[in-house]
Amino acid sequence: MNIYYVELFDYYGELFTDKQKEYFMDYYFNNLTLQEIADNNKVSKNAVHKNIKDIVQKLDYYESKLNLNSNRKKIEELIKDIDVDIKEKIKELI
């Protein structure tokens, strides 16, 4: 499930505040615990947990409305058997 949210964050990450991005990246990319993130930012563990939970919910919401990640996967599945040059050009676009 973590990979899924990292993929969604690649698409929708710029929609979050700098602090939200920092919490998300610390948790999902840097594998810090909630307590470590809280200590680093001088906030409560509960505040970090709530922020990460909110971000995940928003990522799910954005994907449910825009489908950028699922459409990319569908396109990749459709192009898997075509000419390599064409395939690379399509991947550059997505």
Average pLDDT over residues 84-94: 79
Domain ranges of the chain: 2-67
24-69, pLDDT tens digit by residue? 999 999 999 999 999 999 999 999 999 999 999 999 999 999 999 9
To 10 degrees, what angle do helices 34-41 and 45-66 make? 110
Q: Token pair for residue 22?
A: 């920092």
Angle at the Cα of 16 (from 37 to 7), degrees rounded to 5? 85
The CATH number that domain 2-67 falls under is 1.10.10.10
Name the pTM for this structure. 0.81
